Chain A
Amino acid sequence: MKRSLFYLLPILVLGVLIALFWRGLYLNPRILPSPLIGNAVPTFNLPELRHPDSPLTQQILIGHVSLVNVWGTWCYACREEQQTLMAFSRQNVVPIYGWDYKDDRQAALAWLAQRGDPYTAVAFDASGDAAINWGVYGAPETFLIDARGIIRYKYIGPLTPDVIQNDLLPRIQALQHEGT
């Protein structure tokens, strides 16, 4: 009896996988409220990716509405997102700051050279320690920061033209309006 139960194992594995895929089909890159929303951006002091001698701090995020985009060369979803970000950066709506997360400097520089560089500045967080304060789980994630340096919105998953148009742009415009 025990032996024949053993042969049922594969079909059980299949059942679990099917259930998983079923859920996967109906999942969207979800928008999860982050506990940090409404709080000031965490302090940080990181080297700039392209100019290692000039450090970046939270000060750069103050005074204007901006996006902080967490990415890494190891993340394949970021590959797709890069196209969208390039197109968005050409519109010059807001400065986009990059947060290069758990990455290798040479690889990251090569990535930007190959695929284009949408970022005003890129904080280089090789260990990923500084990102913990931001509640970063993985890449890509995007934070919307208002002119006072307060996190107002967080988007998890790769940005698409659709997400930018329907989720981000209305919020950005509202914040820019608020500021003036």
Chain B
Amino acid sequence: MIPEIGHLALILALCLALAQAFFGLAGAQRGQLVWMSAVRPAAVAQSLFVALAFGALAYCFLTNDFSVAYVAENSNTALPWFYKFTAVWGAHEGSLLLWIFVLAIWTVGVARFSRHLPQEFSSRVLGVLGVISIGFLVFMLATSDPFTRLLPPVTQGRDLNPILQDPMMVTHPPMLYMGYVGLSVAFAFAIAALLSGKMDSVWARWSRPWTILAWLFLTIGIIIGSYWAYTELGWGGWWFWDPVENASFMPWLVATALMHSLAVTEKRGAFKSWTALLAIAAFSLSLLGTFLVRSGVLISVHAFAVDPKRGVFILGLIGVFVGAALALYAWRSPTLSSGGGFKPFSREAFLLLNNIFLVVAAAAVLLGTLYPLVMDALHLERISVGPPYFDTVFIPLMIPFFILIGIGPYVRWKHGELNDTAHKLWWVILLAVIAGLVALILLQAETTMVAIAGLFLGAWTIVAALREPVYRLWQRARGMHLSLPRSVLGMTTAHVGAGLLILGVTVTSTLGITRDLVVKPGSSVTVHGYQFTYASTQDVSGPNYQGTQVTFHVSRDGKQIAVMRAEKRTFTDTVTSVAAIYPGVFRDLYVGLGNPLGDSTWSVRFQYKPLVRFIWFGGLVMMLGGVIAVSDRRYRRRVTESAAIVPANPPLLAATPVPAPGTAKAEVEAGG
């Protein structure tokens, strides 16, 4: 009964999505007020039915309803309840339902928080979201119905892929999907603006908080994924340049570019057409991510649905959505004014460079991800592109990028003055060099050029980002009136996070130590001053696995500092390695079991990983920056207060910067 209700709910959601799309787009086009007033209820009702379907599938999992084929294939009675719940998105059908459910959440959010926008505009935004809902609901009902019954039903289900049985699987996919799908909102805003033909800076201001929200979910999703791989995959890596990781990294890079470009469009009315293109590109890349993962076009450990029919469908969806969007773009963009001009040394120029670096980086990732496919499609050979390519491409791109990150916020809009910027930053440079040198001495390891560059760039980025808030607080302490708006604080925080991240990435990958050794009970090995002693081995068992646990005593300078227990687990037909990690702020110790060599002898990988936590901590700080920026009051201002109603003939924003309402000190504000 419950599965049928779920199925029916999906069909009803599709009908409501049709209404939402039609009334939203046609209503706005024809100026029909009655039609437009139907959009919001249709969108909310559509979302409720999707939520009902999602709840129905979750219910089937929690009650072990193995008469549903999808449940039988991905769950069994031995699973703890929370893994039964996460098994909802453990395979293709369910993760598609999660995608649609997340879109429903965003739709409700937009319906709720778009009341201050002109009705015509919000109708179009919801209409575009409705079109996306239609596409995915049809995809689901036509090719991947999770509610299909299994006849005759089985009494016990199969196991959930053991590698997915991890607490972080509860949060990783939903967060990532919140980010992916959240970019559909930025996309919908761009399309609504293109459709209206009135693309001005107000559109950018409305779109900014949504874009930042999607970006911060994408950020946290990627961080969790990386941390999960580190703890769960058992060999101590935190990023593999796997096609599926790339599929989340490309939209992240473009979304980051979009956030910065939106700042220029909002404040200076420039980059309009470029910003719209970035919004379309960011969403297209998240659709592409879905395609790459779902179709099995690229070989990857993640591609768990290999089915050309589904691939064709998603490809069709991409073709229709993105094709239509780009056609609209090609039609509307030439008529847009190019906005305010700017000098080569100005905030705009620096943000343009930021965009160029980020988009080139995204393009490089895209090339590396698709190259094997291109070679194959052109009847050349099947090949793989590995980390050496990505490392080679990324290092030269990121060095200038991180130099610019520090300077950009201290350059004025329109035309900056070199002297002014240099005056603000000379002591920052000095401080960064000192901090880098201190760090170099503290780490006391053999260093490489990349490590040194990373240390200085990280220190530079952090110190430069902190300069502005420190200066403002200092001036305030001296009785000056200098505000510190949340948008500036958010940017600062995010840049500090980027600095921490780059420190973590370079130090751990250049100064980390890995030793693969064979150890017998009682023997001990020393890695970077840490002595690991093989203390004991014992058999362990869990609800659905058998395993072996090896215990190591870790000591330094003769004092025992930790006990580490690494495990090897055997599930029904897979073996996973659960690494032992002794975490620390400045270094991790990592022990992973390799192969048993008989007589309790094991091949073991010992790793010393300096600053590895800075990678995830930096990512979290970046995300926190997004949270602070999105909480800025000006995004919640009512339409009546901010004069944000689109005038019939919007003034061209040729030379005058648009002062952000309420922030009279827009001149000193370092938004972006």
Q: Does B594 contact A (CB under 8 A)?
A: yes
What per-residue 1/0 map shows which CB atoms of B301-333 lie under 8 Å from chain A? 100000010011001001100110011011001
Are A75 and B308 touching (Cβ within 8 A)? no
Q: How far is the CB of A122 from chain B (nearest CB, A)?
A: 15
- Nearest chain-B residue to A4 (Cβ)? B334
B516 to A, closest residue via Cβ:
A110
Cβ-based interface call for A166 (8 A)? no
Q: Which residues of A lie under 8 Å from residue B291 when comparing CB positions?
A: 21
Interface of B is mostly: helix
Question: Smallest CB–CB gap between B21 and chain A, Å?
Answer: 22
The answer to whether A23 has its CB under 8 Å from any CB of chain B is yes
Partner of A25, one of B297, B380, B388: B297
Among candidates A18, A20, A74, A77, residue contacting B299 with C-beta atoms closer than 8 Å: A77
Is the CB of A158 closer than 8 A to any CB of chain B? Answer: yes
B603 proximal to A (CB < 8 A):
yes
Most-contacted residue by chain A among B242, B315, B592 (CB, 10 A)? B315
* A113 lies within 8 A of chain B by Cβ: yes
List the count of A-B residue pairs having beta carbons below 8 Å apart: 118
Q: Is A54's beta carbon under 8 Å from chain B?
A: no
- Is B514's CB within 8 Å of the partner chain A? yes
Q: Are B388 and A76 in contact (CB under 8 A)?
A: no
Complex Cα distance, B284 from A47, in Å, reads 48
A8 to B388, CA, bound (A): 34
Of chain B, the residue at the smallest CB distance from A27 is: B376
Tell me if B387 and A20 are in contact (CB < 8 A): no
**Any chain B CB within 8 A of the CB of A138?**
yes
Report the Cα distance A139→B299, complex, angstroms: 13
Q: Is B301's CB under 8 angstroms from A80's CB?
A: yes
The answer for the CA separation of A104 and B622 in the assembled complex, in Å, is 34
- Which residue of A78, A114, A117 has the most chain B CB atoms within 10 A of its CB atom? A114
Docked Cα-Cα span, A80 to B594, in Å, equals 17
Q: Is the CB of B235 within 8 A of A11?
A: no
B633 CB → nearest A CB, Å: 36
Most buried by B among A18, A137, A138: A138
Q: How far is the CA of A74 from the CA of B392 in the complex (A)?
A: 14
Q: Are B295 and A25 in contact (CB under 8 A)?
A: yes
Which residue in B327, B380, B595 is a CB contact (below 8 Å) of A11?
Answer: B327
CB contacts (< 8 Å) of A7 on chain B: these are 273, 329-330, 333-334
Query: What residues on A are CB-neighbors of B281 within 8 Å?
Result: 10
Q: In whole angstroms, what is the CA distance A62 to B498 when docked?
A: 56
Do B516 and A10 touch (CB < 8 A)? no
Interface size on B, residues (CB 8 A): 51
B289 CB, min distance to chain A CBs, angstroms: 13
Shortest distance from the beta carbon of B548 to any chain A beta carbon, whole Å? 15
What are the interface flags for A16-40 relative to B under an 8 Å C-beta threshold, 1 for contact and 0 otherwise? 0110111111110110100000000
Q: Which of the residues B300, B315, B323, B383 comes within 8 Å of A137, measured between beta carbons?
A: B383
Report the bound CA distance from A139 to B388 in whole Å. 14
- Are B301 and A113 closer than 8 Å at their CB atoms? no
How far does the alpha carbon of A15 sit from the alpha carbon of B243 in the complex, in Å? 21
A158 touches B299 (CB 8 A): yes
- The smallest C-beta distance from A79 to any residue of chain B, in angstroms, reads 6
Looking at A4, A7, A18, which has the most chain B CB atoms within 10 Å of its CB? A7
Q: Contacts A7-B330, A76-B301 hold; do A114 and B318 have CB atoms under 8 A apart?
A: no
Q: Which residues of A contact B319 (CB under 8 A)?
A: 14, 18
Contact with A along B276-305 (1 / 0, CB 8 A): 010011001000000100010101110000
Do A75 and B386 have beta carbons less than 8 Å apart?
yes
> Does B234 reach chain A (CB closer than 8 Å)?
yes
What chain A residues lie within 8 Å of B242 (beta carbons)? Answer: 76
Q: Is the CB of B595 within 8 A of A29?
A: no
Q: Which residues does chain A contribute within 8 Å of B322, judged by CB atoms?
A: 14
Residue in chain A with minimal CB distance to B284: A14
How far, in whole Å, are A72 and B388 apart by their CA atoms in the complex? 12
A10's nearest neighbour on chain B, judged by CB, is: B326
Q: Say yes or no for B528: interface residue by CB 8 A criterion.
A: no
Task: Given A113-B594, A137-B383, verify A25-B315 contact (CB < 8 Å).
Answer: yes
With A27-B377, A74-B387 in contact, do A4 and B514 touch (Cβ < 8 Å)? no
Residues of B within 8 A of A78 (CB): 384
Among residues of B, the one whose C-beta sits closest to the C-beta of A26 is: B308
Interface members, chain B 229-268 (any A CB < 8 Å): 234-235, 240, 242-243
CB within 8 Å of A: which B604-629 residues: 605
B595 touches A14 (CB 8 A): no
Identify which of B234, B280, B384, B388 contacts A114 (C-beta below 8 A): B234
In whole Å, how far is B197's beta carbon from the nearest beta carbon of chain A?
15
**Does A106 sit at the interface, judged by CB under 8 A?**
yes
Q: Within B554-594, which residues are at the interface with A (CB < 8 Å)?
A: 577, 592, 594
Is the CB of B638 closer than 8 A to any CB of chain A? no
Is B308 touching A25 in the complex (CB atoms < 8 A)? yes
Interface centre among B281, B295, B329, B383 (most CB of A within 10 A): B383
Please measure, in the bound complex, the distance between the C-alpha atom of A75 and the C-alpha atom of B605, giving whole angstroms: 20
Give residues 374-422 of B contacting A (CB, 8 Å). 374, 376-377, 380-384, 386-388
Distance in Å: Cβ of B338 to nearest Cβ of chain A: 10
Indicate if B370 sits at the interface (CB-CB under 8 A).
yes
Contacting pair B315 A21 (CB below 8 A): yes
Beta-carbon contacts of A129-162 to B below 8 Å, as 1s and 0s? 0000000011100000000000000001110000
- Closest A residue to B291 by beta carbon equals A21
Closest chain B residue to A111, Cβ basis? B235
Q: Is A3 close to B, CB under 8 A?
A: yes
Most buried by B among A25, A80, A139: A25
Please indicate the chain A residues that have their CB under 8 angstroms from the CB of B374 in the complex: 20
A142 CB to closest chain B CB (Å) equals 12
For window 435-490 of B, CB contacts with A under 8 Å fall at none
Q: Known contacts A106-B514, A139-B384; can you find 7 more A-B pairs with CB under 8 A?
A: A7-B329, A17-B370, A20-B373, A74-B384, A74-B388, A76-B386, A117-B595
Interface residues of A (CB under 8 A from B): 3-4, 7-8, 10-11, 14-15, 17-18, 20-27, 29-30, 32, 72, 74-80, 106, 109-110, 113-114, 116-117, 137-139, 156-158
B contacts, CB < 8 Å to A: 234-235, 240, 242-243, 273, 277, 280-281, 284, 291, 295, 297, 299-301, 308, 311-312, 315, 318-319, 322-323, 326-327, 329-330, 333-334, 370, 373-374, 376-377, 380-384, 386-388, 514, 516, 577, 592, 594-595, 603, 605
Can you name 26 A-B residue pairings with CB atoms under 8 Å? A4-B330, A11-B329, A14-B284, A14-B319, A17-B370, A20-B373, A21-B291, A21-B373, A22-B315, A23-B377, A25-B308, A32-B381, A74-B386, A75-B384, A76-B240, A76-B243, A76-B299, A76-B386, A78-B384, A110-B516, A110-B605, A113-B595, A114-B234, A117-B595, A137-B383, A158-B299
